[in-house]
Amino acid sequence: MKNTLLVIAALLINLTVYAQIEKPVTWSYAAKKTSATEAVIYLKANIENGWHLYSQTVKDGGPVKTSFTWPASTTYTLVGKTIEPKPITKFESTFKMDVSYFENTVLFQQRIKFKAGKPVVKGKVEFMVCNDKQCLPPEEVEFSIPVK
């Protein structure tokens, strides 16, 4: 009886390990004033080894591209588009097309202009990650970044 309970306990522990949700990307945020009325918002993705996060420029028919949603605000306006560094571009047989992506880390930047006070920049990022074995479903992460 004891042996049977030990085997069942071992199986349950093993299943728990395999059932853990993978989170290969962690996000961090910062803001830096560039003048009395402007700032740059930094959104950094740290990507686990072996995984990659897709660019904002992926064409239709491929993986979900990284996109940022910036709701309207009374305290700031966006200046231009969210910029990203030059991605790696390669053919991926899974999608049967060239796709652009990032490995390890990527830093996105968004310029803003203040309308009033010390703004808190809110929004969300939607992204998808893959490795050589699997792609995870797209994920959305909300952020709130105070500009000091």
The answer, yes or no, to whether residue 9 has pLDDT greater than 50, is no
pLDDT greater at residue 1 or residue 85: 85
Residues 71-86, mean pLDDT to the nearest whole number: 96
| Per-residue pLDDT at 32 | 96
| 13-52 pLDDT per residue, tens | 443 444 457 899 999 999 999 999 999 999 999 999 999 9
1 within some domain: no
4 within some domain: no
Q: Which of 4-8, 17-21, 76-80 has the highest mean pLDDT?
A: 76-80
Strand order of the sheet with strand 120-127? 67-69, 120-127, 139-146
132 within some domain: yes
CA gap 130, 136 in Å, rounded: 6
120 within some domain: yes
104 within some domain: yes
pLDDT greater at residue 100 or residue 1: 100
| Per-residue pLDDT at 10 | 41
φ, ψ at 17 (rounded to 5°): -60, -45
The mean pLDDT of the chain is 88
**By CB neighbour count within 10 A (0-12 exposed, 13-18 middle, 19+ buried), where does 75 fall?**
middle
CATH (domain of 100) = 2.60.40.1250
16 within some domain: no
Report the domain count for the chain.
Answer: 1
Strand partners, 65: none
User: In terms of residue numbers, what domain contains 41?
Assistant: 24-146
110 within some domain: yes
| 88-119 pLDDT per residue, tens | 999 998 899 999 999 999 999 999 999 877 89
pTM of the predicted protein model: 0.84
18 within some domain: no
